[in-house]
Structure 1
């Protein structure tokens, strides 16, 4: 990405996430003038944050009731944890 931005093969780019975080201050990507890096705020709309809160609450309530979590993104890890604790 750095080479493409530096040579203007890519005119500009915007990132919400970098491979290493925090990005090292000596990373050459920080020297190009055609890149914007946001600190993980790409999803920071009121609607998105509200939905995230609702999904978290749904998971919490389901877990307290002993039900499957409706919004679980790592079901395998959850199942392994439950097996370990049984």
Structure 2
């Protein structure tokens, strides 16, 4: 499973808004979402893509990294693949 980290998301942004935003930039729909509040100043989400490889996300990542959306500049990174045991 490939994972995409999207940081500095506005806290009141819904899962559906995130899905529509990313799909608008060519991303496939994500299969899972995990919200990460951290200290509260730069909330993030970790998105899981079951049928998409990390290489595909790396090709799309520059489209949204450092993009200004909902009064915040997003930081988007493709996470290294983890071995699941």
**TM superposition score normalised by structure 2:** 0.26
Instruction: Flag the structure with higher strand content.
Output: 2
Instruction: Flag the structure with higher helix content.
Output: 1
| Relative contact order higher in (CA < 8 Å, ≥ 6 apart) | 2
